Amino acid sequence: MQILDSLIPIFAVIGLGMLLRKRHFLTVDSTRAFNQFAYFFALPLFLFYKLAAAPPAGSQAHPMFIALISAVAATGAIGWFAGYLFGVPIRSRGSMIQAAFRGNLAFIGLPLMLFTIVELPTAQRSATEAAVLLAITPVILFYNVGSVIALAIYNEETKQSFSYRKICVSLGKNPIIWACVVGATFQHFHWQVLTPVAHICEIIGGSAFAIALVGIGSQLVSIPASNAWRATILPTVIKCIVCPIICWIVGKSIGLAGFELQAVLIMAATPTAVSSFVLADQMKGDSDLAATSVVVCTAFSFVTLSIVLLLT
């Protein structure tokens, strides 16, 4: 039932975004506005309020982070090695590595996770939400740094023009990271969110996933995916199959079980983030491979996420 209750609604809203774009109800400009509103306002307010108002996350945040970051780092290394082993062209390796480890935690993983725990008692649900948010914040940092480094190493032009100072500035401007940090600070010191602020967060934050998922669907239609889909098989298998398997092995070995294990497996099995195409295009990587990887991995992730929900 979790597939019907949790997964299908996520992909149905993505499909709605694709339909709206094909029917020209959404345009390039309106899609960009959707994505920017979700990224800079709706999702940060949602994450801040969820963390700030949550009870203590207990001891589960740390093992959840260990399981997820171990899987992400391992798949990044596997993608790096696979590039050499299978003779992936130098220009394409950065995009392939990024597609192999960078998942869509915020816009697909989080709403799916929230749907799967909706029937838990309120206190347990809030604690699980807080643990997941605390666990994924440093992983999002890793995504940004790792993607930039991979694309810089395999692109001489970018390597010469891009500096680590710019990486730090970019991370410092990431609203999702700041929302989690500030929300975690409120939670740690037991600060109360003012009622007007809480209501603003509830109103705007409540729209985050609807706007983001419609935006993803619209953007998937506009991504110039090439016919060279065979090149995406390798990163798709690594991202959607190898990553959750490693996460499961590590999670079980450190004692994760139940909803906590399911939550990190969902995060590990999320498809390649749409933002990976944008970054590959900006940094002169193989944008065709990056774009096609997003489309193929998103479609294939329905199968792997379904398996995760069935087995856990």
Rounded to the nearest 10 degrees, how much is the dihedral formed by the CA atoms of 125, 139, 3, 298? 150
CA–CA gap between residue 77 and residue 69 (Å, rounded): 12
Please give the backbone phi and psi of residue 103, each rounded to the nearest 5 degrees, phi first.
Answer: -100, 165
Q: Is the pTM of this model over 0.85?
A: yes
CA–CA gap between residue 80 and residue 84 (Å, rounded): 7
Nearest to 209 by CA among 297, 108, 299, 70: 108
Per-residue pLDDT of the chain (312 residues; tens, 9 = 90+): 677 778 899 999 999 999 999 998 999 888 888 888 988 899 899 889 888 887 776 668 899 999 999 999 999 999 999 988 888 888 889 999 999 999 999 889 999 998 998 888 888 888 888 889 889 888 988 888 888 888 888 765 644 455 567 667 666 777 888 888 898 889 888 898 999 999 999 999 888 889 889 989 888 887 766 666 678 899 999 999 999 999 999 999 999 988 899 999 999 999 998 888 877 877 778 888 888 899 899 999 999 999 999 887
Nearest to 66 by CA among 237, 262, 255, 270: 255
Q: 272: helix, coil or strand?
A: strand
H/E stretch holding 198 reads helix 195-205
Nearest to 215 by CA among 36, 70, 1, 22: 36
For CA atoms 234, 235, 237, 241, the dihedral sign is positive
Q: 103: helix, coil or strand?
A: strand
CA–CA gap between residue 83 and residue 276 (Å, rounded): 17
Q: 1: helix, coil or strand?
A: coil
**Contact partners, residue 135, CB within 8 Å, separation at least 6:** 61, 62, 64, 65, 68, 264, 267
What the chain holds in terms of domains, given with CATH numbers, is 2-22+31-311 (1.20.1530.20)
CA–CA gap between residue 94 and residue 100 (Å, rounded): 10
